[in-house]
Amino acid sequence: MIELRGISKSYRVSTRGSSHLAAALRGLFVREYVTVNALEDIDWHVRRGAVHGLLGRNGSGKSTLIKILCGILHPTSGVASVDGVVPWQDRRSYVRAIGVVFGQKSQLTWELPALDSFALQRSVYGVPKAQFEETLAYLATALDAHAISARPVRSLSLGERMRCEILCALLHRPKLLFLDEPTIGLDLISKDQVRQAIREINAELGTTIILTSHDISDVSSLCEDISLLDRGRFLYQGKLQSLLELHSRQKVLRVKLARPVGECALNGFPLVATGQYTATLTLAEGAAPLRELLPKLLEELPVEDMSVESTQLDEVVKSLYRQGACGAPR
């Protein structure tokens, strides 16, 4: 579905020199520039019909990549194909095959019922009336949006509005849907409703979905394949389960302390994180390290409770960020 080869994107950004008056005046006539590499020679493949998680810290290059795939930006170098089409060429016909939902931006008219925005969407994309009504009926059922779509958008809760946003983006039956932070700010029930709807739509319509989110639970509950982007390069591409299995040899020991302890008391322990009354430690593969560590823990720290867990996805992702590279097969 998506094939990228050697995609790079660089920006030429002017820099501000010294704050001294003479330097500031000189900067009005002679600008200095630096080159910022948002994406650096990346290859990427997304299979048709997948729900693919695209993860990355702020400034990692996710937005630049999505804009290139939407045809908004031209890459500095490299080639791209989305369902056989180059996104930034012939954008008018290309955008008919994609849908986009941004969690913090709305495509719905604030003062009007969502149904009016749906009708506008039908007109913009030239969707035949019979197809529009069939698709609307299906999506309204899948997203539980029959009642809310008749109300003014301003009267909807955030979760209700997000369901209408997803519905609106799918009315023209795109082959590819970009979901950027679709559950941001939602409560637990609303998140579950949106996730369930995404699963059903992907299964029933076969829509390929690119999901970007800082909510790890979104990714772990929806995606089979993930890509981890950092500083314009991929740290990992592949199956989510393979990534977890790669790091499952390492366990996490969560310790609850009866009272705060100083940093010096924690020296010598394989710490991941500390709090006033907590400590999180990593355990190497096998039982021997735990047998060696427990007596020392109980003797030197005021342990009140503890639990041993497999490494969670969020810990794996943070570990990869810290390493700045991934040893998993690409």
Q: What is the 3-state secondary structure (H, E, C) of the chain?
A: CEEEEEEEEEEEEEECCCCCHHHHHHHHHCCEEEEEEEEEEEEEEECCCCEEEEEECCCCCHHHHHHHHCCCCCCCEEEEEECCECCCCCHHHHHHHEEEEECCCCCCCCCCEHHHHHHHHHHHHCCCHHHHHHHHHHHHHHCCCCCHHHCEHHHCCHHHHHHHHHHHHHCCCCCEEEEECCCCCCCHHHHHHHHHHHHHHHHHHCCEEEEECCCHHHHHHHCCEEEEEECCEEEEEEEHHHHHHHHCCCEEEEEEECCCCCHHHHCCCCEEEECCCEEEEEECCCCHHHHHHHHHHHHHCCEEEEEEEECCHHHHHHHHHHHCCCCCCC
- Please, which pLDDT band fits residue 289 given cuts at 50, 70 and 90? low
Identify the pLDDT of residue 330.
38
Q: Is the pLDDT of residue 223 over 90?
A: yes
The pLDDT, as a whole number, for residue 131 is: 96
Confidence bin at 277 (pLDDT 50/70/90): confident
Distance CA 161, CA 163 (A): 5
What whole-number percentage of the chain has pLDDT above 70? Answer: 91
Q: pLDDT by residue (tens digit) across 27-80?
A: 677 777 889 999 999 999 999 999 999 999 888 999 999 999 999 999 999 999
Q: Do domains 40-244 and 249-310 have the same CATH topology?
A: no
CATH architecture of 40-244: 3-Layer(aba) Sandwich (3.40)
Pick 136 or 21 by higher pLDDT.
136
pLDDT at 299 over 60: yes
> What are the extents of the domains in the chain?
40-244, 249-310
In the chain, % of residues over pLDDT 90? 54
User: For the domain with range 249-310, which CATH number is right: 3.40.50.2000, 3.40.50.720, 3.30.70.1150, 3.40.50.300?
Assistant: 3.30.70.1150
The tokens for 181 are 């932070």
Higher-confidence residue of 320 and 110: namely: 110
Res 169: pLDDT: 95
**Across residues 76-96, what is the average pLDDT?**
92
pTM of this prediction exceeds 0.85:
no
